[in-house]
């Protein structure tokens, strides 16, 4: 087992141990914090497919996070008011079932990623960053101006959605759902990175011209990665909305995009478990520093600046030593 694999296992076990400890000591709030970390980590794992594997610096992933959130909000709000979403040409009713909501979140965010990716990937580098940011802003204003689902005020759901056989209102059971999905997503991304597709994507990140010479279109590779990336982040959005029983345009804001990216840099760019380590650190900082006063973002900014300027490997780099050297 390599040192990084050991660190990864330790991080994942720690994320599991904290809520179990909290369960034994009857501290439901700590379980909720761990659930929050797991869900944010899932969003980061999604972004990491585009950013870490594909080298695509997307500053608009809040779009997919928000679409997942609104997929949950729209379906659940129609279910709680017994008002079908549409009746013609065929009947679509709301639902309070998590698996169906997840599928809706995955599909809608994948479609959005396909559209945004197809346009944005025509460009590269700094243009790509600005364009994904602009699409994010477009979705944000659309949600604000969309009165049917709360507009600026957002949308509240009274009871958390259900999962067959589980009581999702119990914090530890909801944590188990989020944690399992996180593990599945990590497994998927790990398999993906070792597959021919992942290898070609990695090669395209390092030198698009060489991949093209080998007869593979970098555009198709990147678009595929972007769609997978968006779909996973969308799934995380649905869970996040379910955790808060609330969805609002702030999930689509550009700060959210920035924060998801922050998880990856705090953990260490190019590492499989970077989003998990980073999201865990972020939730801890938010909890501790948030308790010291209302200006905790200034410390988050300082820490982030330090990591970017002086400690590029992030947390996993510090623990596991040098990883891949190609940057």
Partner 1 sequence: MPTALLVEQLLNGLQAGMTLFLMAAGLTLVFGVMGLINLAHGSLYMVGAFAAAAVAAATGSFLLALAAALAAGAIAGVVVEMVVIRRLYDRDHLDQVLATFALILIFSEGTRWVFGSFPLQLDIPAWLAGPITLPGGIPYPLYRLTIIGIGLAVAIALWLLIERTRTGIRIRAGENDREMISALGVDISRLYTLVFALGAALAGLAGALVGAIQSVQVGMGEPVLILAFVVIVIGGIGSIRGALIGALLVGMTDTMGRILLPSLLATITDASMAASVGASLASMSVYILMAVVLVWRPSGLFGAAT
User: Shortest approach of partner 1 to residue 168 CB, angstroms?
Assistant: 33
> Pick from 64, 70, 135, 263: which binds partner 1 (CB under 8 A)?
135
Alpha helices in 25-97 (DSSP H): 28-48, 62-80
- The 8 Å CB, 24+ separation contacts for 90-95 are 95/161
145 binds partner 1 (CB under 8 A): yes
- Cα–Cα dist 288/265, whole Å: 20
User: Shortest approach of partner 1 to residue 63 CB, angstroms?
Assistant: 12
Alpha helices in 245-326 (DSSP H): 254-267, 274-292, 296-310, 314-320
- Cα–Cα dist 284/306, whole Å: 18
- Cα–Cα dist 182/193, whole Å: 16
> Pick from 6, 21, 142, 288: which binds partner 1 (CB under 8 A)?
142
Nearest to 169 by CA among 159, 178, 179: 159
Interface residues for partner 1 in 250-289 (CB under 8 A)?
Answer: 254, 258, 261-262, 265, 269
User: Shortest approach of partner 1 to residue 26 CB, angstroms?
Assistant: 35
146 binds partner 1 (CB under 8 A): yes
- The piece of 75-83, 141-149, 193-201, 232-240 that touches partner 1 (CB under 8 A) is 141-149
147 binds partner 1 (CB under 8 A): yes
Phi/psi for 288 (5° steps) reads -75, -55
* Footprint of partner 1 (CB under 8 A): 51, 57, 59, 119, 122-127, 129-131, 133-135, 137-138, 141-142, 144-147, 151, 254, 258, 261-262, 265, 269, 295-298, 300-302, 304-305, 308-309, 312, 327
């Amino acid at each position: 087992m390599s040192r990084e694999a050991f660190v990864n296992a330790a991080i994942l076990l720690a994320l599991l141990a904290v809520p179990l400890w909290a369960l034994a000591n009857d501290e439901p709030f700590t379980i909720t914090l761990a659930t929050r970390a797991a869900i944010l980590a899932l969003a980061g794992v999604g972004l990491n497919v585009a950013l870490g594997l594909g080298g695509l610096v997307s500053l608009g992933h809040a779009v997919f996070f928000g679409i997942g959130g609104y997929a949950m909000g729209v379906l659940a709000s129609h279910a709680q008011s017994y008002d079908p979403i549409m009746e013609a040409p065929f009947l679509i009713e709301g639902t309070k079932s998590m698996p169906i909501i997840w599928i809706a979140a995955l599909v809608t965010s994948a479609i959005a990623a396909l559209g945004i990716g197809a346009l944005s990937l025509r460009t590269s580098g700094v243009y790509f960053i600005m364009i994904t940011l602009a699409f994010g802003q477009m979705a944000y204003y659309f949600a604000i101006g969309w009165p049917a689902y709360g507009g600026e005020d957002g949308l509240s759901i009274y009871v958390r959605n259900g999962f067959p056989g589980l009581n999702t209102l119990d914090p530890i059971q909801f944590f188990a759902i989020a944690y399992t999905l996180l593990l599945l997503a990590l497994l998927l991304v790990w398999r993906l990175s070792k597959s021919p597709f992942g290898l070609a994507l990695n090669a395209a990140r390092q030198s698009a011209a060489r991949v093209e010479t080998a007869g593979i279109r970098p555009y198709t590779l990147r678009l595929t990665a972007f769609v997978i990336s968006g779909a996973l982040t969308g799934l995380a959005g649905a869970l996040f909305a379910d955790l808060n029983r609330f969805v609002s345009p702030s999930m689509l804001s550009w700060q959210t995009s920035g924060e998801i990216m922050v998880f990856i840099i705090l953990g260490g760019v190019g590492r499989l478990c970077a989003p998990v380590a980073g999201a865990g650190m972020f939730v801890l900082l938010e909890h501790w520093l948030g308790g010291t006063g209302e200006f905790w973002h200034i410390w988050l900014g300082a820490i982030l600046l330090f990591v970017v300027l002086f400690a590029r490997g992030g947390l996993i780099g510090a623990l596991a030593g040098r990883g891949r050297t190609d940057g």
